[in-house]
A and B are shown apart, each in its own frame.
Chain A
């Protein structure tokens, strides 16, 4: 005898099986008394459930009138929900825009700094042509105090320049990534909740 088909019996009983699955269940039922009894119990249960009758509404017309009386004048909730939903979907778009802006700003800044250090921007105003020297005052101070000298000082200056240039960019990128991942987590949680039957209000 083939394997019991208990897991498919409800779908079979409800007429939801088709094709090979339907054939397999029918073939099994023909030879399995246990599954036949289970199918019979589904019939019995359904009969029992249908003993509970829905009462007649006293007056359907009065029901419609009551609903009419309670209807608010304006259909406002939907438009509010729409705005909220629109705002919700604008969050990742906004984060993406900020990310593009931040990266563009830093790329332009790096190009200008490099160009400045190469002397390409020598004719431009001082505020634009910022040199790396202004970024190493901490290392310079340490050097003046005699803590570092020679190669050590040069390494410290390089590290400080690199940190000063990269830290804001890295921090911003991390912040944007954290915000985006948070949005993604909330989106996923909402989706899972909906799938598990926590239905949204209509």
Chain B
């Protein structure tokens, strides 16, 4: 699991901060931003595949959260609520940046037509291919995959965050992984083996 998970704060302390922020205290909201920055950034980065876009989307997430804070209900953990906003903000940002992103991504070839151990790609190339494969997933499936793989959320937390039934979480995750396995099949090799081949 990555280091970008939820910052540690007790539920009670967070509830107090939320109440204060709901009453318009900007300092309390800043504290909430500080706590959830890494988690939100992690989610939007893996959704968008670009650090600059993710930075914008993360900022947009917190601005929307501030604007809608009075509609937040404590039955949902703040993290889940923020991730739902982050998903929407990320998708909007991607649509806005569409002119730039596809060209960058299309430069990468997903399927390596060459065969044989000599052609195993380098670590960087592999990372870019994985990123592209994730980006090519349908939005709804990508969101579920990102929350599960990079945020380590349980199915019920994902269902809560995305406001969908648990069965839908399962089917989208199955679908996303199935597509990724098909796309990345040639790369599902042990990295150590690839590195060894490269050094030859």
The residues of A with any CB-CB pair to B shorter than 8 Å are 7, 10-11, 14, 16, 41-42, 44-55, 57, 60, 63-64, 66-68, 70-72, 75-79, 81-82, 194-197, 199-202
Q: What is the distance, in angstroms, from A78's C-beta to the closest C-beta of chain B?
A: 4
15 A-B residue contacts at CB 8 Å? A10-B174, A49-B180, A51-B123, A51-B130, A54-B2, A57-B38, A68-B33, A71-B26, A75-B67, A78-B67, A81-B68, A196-B164, A197-B140, A199-B84, A202-B65
Residues of B168-197 at the interface with A, using a CB-CB cut-off of 8 Å, are 168, 170, 172-174, 177, 180-181, 184, 187-189, 191
**Which residue of chain B is the closest to A6 with respect to CB atoms?**
B174
Chain A residues, CB < 8 A from B69: 75, 78
The residues of B with any CB-CB pair to A shorter than 8 Å are 2, 4, 22, 24, 26, 29-30, 33-34, 37-38, 41-42, 45-46, 51, 55, 58-59, 62-71, 81, 84-85, 87-88, 123, 126-127, 130-131, 134, 139-140, 143, 148-150, 154-155, 162-165, 168, 170, 172-174, 177, 180-181, 184, 187-189, 191
Chain B residues, CB < 8 A from A60: 34, 37-38
B24 touches A75 (CB 8 A): yes
Q: What is the distance, in angstroms, from A144's C-beta to the closest C-beta of chain B?
A: 69
Apart from A45-B181, A71-B62, A79-B70, 16 more pairs, CB < 8 Å: A11-B155, A41-B188, A48-B188, A51-B130, A52-B46, A55-B45, A63-B37, A63-B59, A75-B68, A78-B67, A82-B70, A195-B164, A199-B84, A200-B163, A201-B88, A202-B64
**A50/B187 contact (C-beta < 8 A), A66-B59, A78-B69, A202-B85 known:** no
B46 touches A64 (CB 8 A): no
Chain A residues, CB < 8 A from B42: 54
